[in-house]
A = this chain, B = another copy of it.
């Protein structure tokens, strides 16, 4: 974290205690339980791979860059030049801070800013480093990350995943919300051998997938959910009828789709129970609210709904660990309180639009003050290239050190040693134990 040049000590409220905690927390080898790193191309092979992260393109677009400037069909060089020229418009954001910290720490980039003049050399340095097919291992070591979870579609080939550092995770959005789609059912049949035409078939296929994933080292299933999704006890008969209609090539009604989503979701929870794996719920996303945005920058959130919608699920599947993230600040208090009461609800990280220091600081303190420490999954990166693991986790490590120093040790509520041990739970031991990795 040397890249950051803070105010003089006399001009800062950062105490020596906080500095020590920051150093000790930086030394914890962490587990990252959610990312979108593509196993076949985990590290950057050029600056465009970093500047193409949706945070940069969407913020630059939000600040005035036409979406077309970085659309499909543009050259990597063109996109990079465009993005470099736009960075000054977003240099106040924490996301910009991630980029500059990653460049400094991983590529020894020493300039204050990216410019039209200095980026080509950096681009080449990234390309050169990227030529080493195992470069991602070095990058993860620099970030002090031991394991990184992937997000795998259900028919992805897991045999080539580098399981030394990566952990597969069954992404289930397609299975829950896409069963009306003939192509999804076809892919499912290809993968599992089950032509799904009944509720039983669907349960079989889901179990097959979960077994396959667990055999390949998977740590969990995962899904992202809209704010108005309401899990419920599955309706076997209605699901049978809907799947029969789908198998017969008929169009499904909105009711049918909802019935199937509820059924598939519950079948996945049951499979998690059978194979003793947690189900990662990421609740609250509204898809494609801004269709004219850049790729990856079209989704938003809504404060609608309540975690109460999930109470029945948590009761019905009491033996399944649900590691839960929410996308709206309005839901955060409910999450902490449900985790306080339900043994199987475990707050997980700070997702996307809540992955900003101001919100992390508040929610982290709230969780540390009232949820048993062994239930807290501190953080995950949600990254698409391993290079972002370092600055994202460093951001979290710093906030964690700050909260532990200012709210716990300074106030006499924890010793310094206990604070470090607590940090170790959040960053490492809890995800190890909960996900069995």
- Cross-interface CB contact of A370 among B93, B300, B303, B413, cutoff 8 Å: B93
Q: How far is the CA of A304 from the CA of B302 in the complex (A)?
A: 12
Within 8 A of B (CB), among A316-339: 318, 328-334, 337-339
In the complex the two chains form, is B290's CB within 8 Å of A341's CB?
yes
**In whole Å, how far is A295's beta carbon from the nearest beta carbon of chain B?**
13
In the complex the two chains form, is A15's CB within 8 Å of B10's CB?
yes
Query: Which B residues lie within 8 Å of A405 (CB)?
Result: 7
Query: Which B residues lie within 8 Å of A17 (CB)?
Result: 7-8, 11-12
- Which residue, A13, A338, A370, has most C-beta atoms of chain B within 10 A? A370
**In whole Å, how far is A67's beta carbon from the nearest beta carbon of chain B?**
9
- Cross-interface CB contact of A62 among B293, B343, B409, cutoff 8 Å: B343
Verify if A129 is at the interface (C-beta below 8 Å from B).
no
Stretch with Cβ within 8 A of B (4 or more), from A69-77, A118-126, A361-369 = A361-369
In the complex the two chains form, is B16's CB within 8 Å of A13's CB?
no
Query: Which B residues lie within 8 Å of A331 (CB)?
Result: 303
Query: Which B residues lie within 8 Å of A258 (CB)?
Result: none
Taking A89-B374, A90-B372, A93-B372 as known contacts, 15 extra A-B pairs with beta carbons closer than 8 A to each other, sorted by chain A number, are: A6-B409, A6-B412, A7-B405, A7-B409, A7-B410, A14-B411, A59-B340, A62-B371, A91-B373, A92-B422, A94-B413, A289-B308, A290-B315, A300-B338, A301-B333
**Given known contacts A95-B370, A303-B333, A315 and B341 CB-to-CB distance under 8 angstroms:** no
Q: How far is the CA of A314 from the CA of B92 in the complex (A)?
A: 24
Stretch with Cβ within 8 A of B (4 or more), from A40-48, A244-252, A264-272, A352-360 = A352-360
**In this complex, what residue of B is CB-closest to A64?**
B343
